[in-house]
Structure 1
Amino acid sequence: MASLNQFIGTGRRKTSTARVFLRPGKGDITVNHRALEHYFHTETARATVRQPLLATETADKFDALILADGGGFTGQAEACRLGVARALLEFNTELRPKLKELGMLTRDPRASERKKYGQKGARKRFQFSKR
C-alpha cells in the first residue's frame, strides 16, 4: 500500500476544533465533505480559511480536507485557519516567519466566561431591590 503524502494540522477556537489534512492537489477546499462555498456561507469566513494559503502562495498546490466540529461558524472558520497554518508548517518550516508575522500561528485564547450562580449571566446580576 502506498503511503498518502499529507500534512496534518489541528486548530481550535472557542469551542470549535478543526482537523486539517493538506494533500498535494490543485486548490480544492472541502469542509465536512462539502465544498468550502457550501459550508461557509459568508465571504468573510471563506477568506479566513484561505488566508494562510494565500499568504504563503501555496493556494494552488494543495487540496485541503477539513473536519470541523463544535461552536459556531466563525469559531470554526478561525479554527480552520489555525489548522491550515499548522499543516503548512509541517510541509515547510521556512514559512514560519511569514505566518507568525501575520499572527496565524497564535491560538486565540478568548472564550465565553461561565455563568455564575446567583447571577443572571457571567457578569449581569439580578435586579437589586432595597425594599
Structure 2
Amino acid sequence: MINNNIKTVYRGTGRRKSSVARVKLIPGSGKMVINGLPGESYLQFSPNYIRITYGPLKTLGLSQEYDIFVQTQGGGLTGQADAIRLGIARALCCINPTNRTGLKLEGHLTRDSRIKERRKYGLRKARKAPQFSKR
C-alpha cells in the first residue's frame, strides 16, 4: 500500500558561537516550532529575533510556504537565532539551487565564525592580565 501523504523534508544545519540548530523544512502553512515550542514563544516574542530567523524566507518570498521544525542547543538566544537563520538558508538551497544567489547576496549563507577566544596561561581571561605592581 502506497501512502501519498508523505511530504518531502529538506534539512539544514546552522551554527553560531556555541549554538547548533538542526532545521527541517516541510511544505506547509508557515508555522515555526523550536524545541517543541511555538517559534515566537521560544524567541520570547522579540521582534529582532523573529526578524532574524525569518530573514531567508522573506528574502525569497516564501514566508507562508514551509513549516519549520528546529532542534537547537547551546549558547544563548542571539546565537541560536543566527544558527536557525543559517540552517533555514541552507535548507532553502537544497530545495532549489537558484535560491542560492539571492540568499548569498543578502548574507544569509555566511557563517559568522567569531567564537570566544581561548584563555592563555599567566592571564586571568583571554587578554585580562593580573594587576601590575611596580613595588
TM-score, structure 2 normalization: 0.93
User: What secondary structure does 2:116 align onto?
Assistant: coil
Tell me which residue corresponds to 1:22.
25
CA distance in 2, matches of 1:52, 1:121: 36
What is aligned with 1:124? Answer: 128
- Once residues 37 and 95 of structure 1 are traced to their aligned partners in structure 2, the CA distance between those partners, rounded to angstroms, is 25
Structure 1 consecutive aligned stretches of length 4 or more whose deviation exceeds 3 Å: 1-4
C-alpha distance in 1, partners of 2:126/2:47? 32
Quote the Cα distance in structure 2 between the aligned partners of 1:43 and 1:119: 39
Give runs of aligned pairs for residues 32-111 of structure 1, distance below 5 A: 32-41=35-44, 42-111=46-115
Where structure 1 has 5 or more consecutive residues not aligned to the other structure, the ranges are none
Residue 10 (1) aligns with residue 13 (2) = yes
Size of the aligned set, in residue pairs, is: 131
* Residue 112, structure 1, aligned to residue 119, structure 2: no
Identity of aligned residues (%): 44
CA distance in 2, matches of 1:88, 1:80: 12
Deviation at 1:120, TM superposition (A): 1.5
1:20 is paired with a residue of what secondary structure? strand
The one-letter amino acid paired with 1:63 is D
Unaligned runs of 5+ in 2: none
Residues in 2 aligned to 1:49 and 1:5: alpha-carbon distance in whole angstroms = 21
1:4 CA drift (Å): 3.8
Provide the rounded CA distance (Å) in 2 between the counterparts of 1:74 and 1:6: 26
Q: Does 1:31 align with 2:16?
A: no
> What TM-score, normalized to structure 1?
0.96
For 2:26, give the aligned amino acid. R
Residue identity matched to 2:86: L
Deviations 1:42-99 (A, max 9, x none): 2111110000001111111100001111011100000000000000000111111100
